Amino acid sequence: MSYRREFTIEKSPAETRTFTLPFETEDPTLLDPVLSEVVVTAQDDFTGNDVTSVILDDSVTSFAGKEATFRVRNGVSGRNYKISVAVRLADGDIWIADGTLKVSDS
């Protein structure tokens, strides 16, 4: 069995916001996770370029219990960015949450 989750974040170009994603499941075939590592990446949907260092603040990326926390910043108004949050569990499994960061002045 695999775990996949999708999410959407909206912000203005000037905002810096911290988000926390719970990695829990209601699927009885999957055990609740014990997180041991989190990696967050960002890609510009328009250009396909890796923009992790521009969009994410690595100093805030962390995990506690069943939650992964990360901070988004910057971005160009009207652009969308793909955010991938991959967590490694204590048993070695990797769960991924893929999201869209929508940046808009409005």
pLDDT in tens, the chain (106 residues): 456 788 999 999 999 999 999 887 666 556 667 788 899 999 999 999 999 999 999 899 998 888 899 999 999 999 999 999 998 888 888 889 999 999 999 7
Write down the domain spans for the chain. Answer: 4-103
Give this prediction's pTM.
0.86
Given this structure, which CATH class describes domain 4-103? mainly beta
- Three-state DSSP at 29 gives coil
Tokens of 86: 């991959």
SS (H, E, C) 49-103: CECHHHHECHHHCEEECCEEEEEECCCCCCCEEEEEEEEEECCCCEEEEEEEEEE
Tokens of 20: 């926390």
Tokens of 62: 């962390």
Give pLDDT, residue 93: 83
Give pLDDT, residue 103: 97
In the chain, the amino acid numbered 45 is D
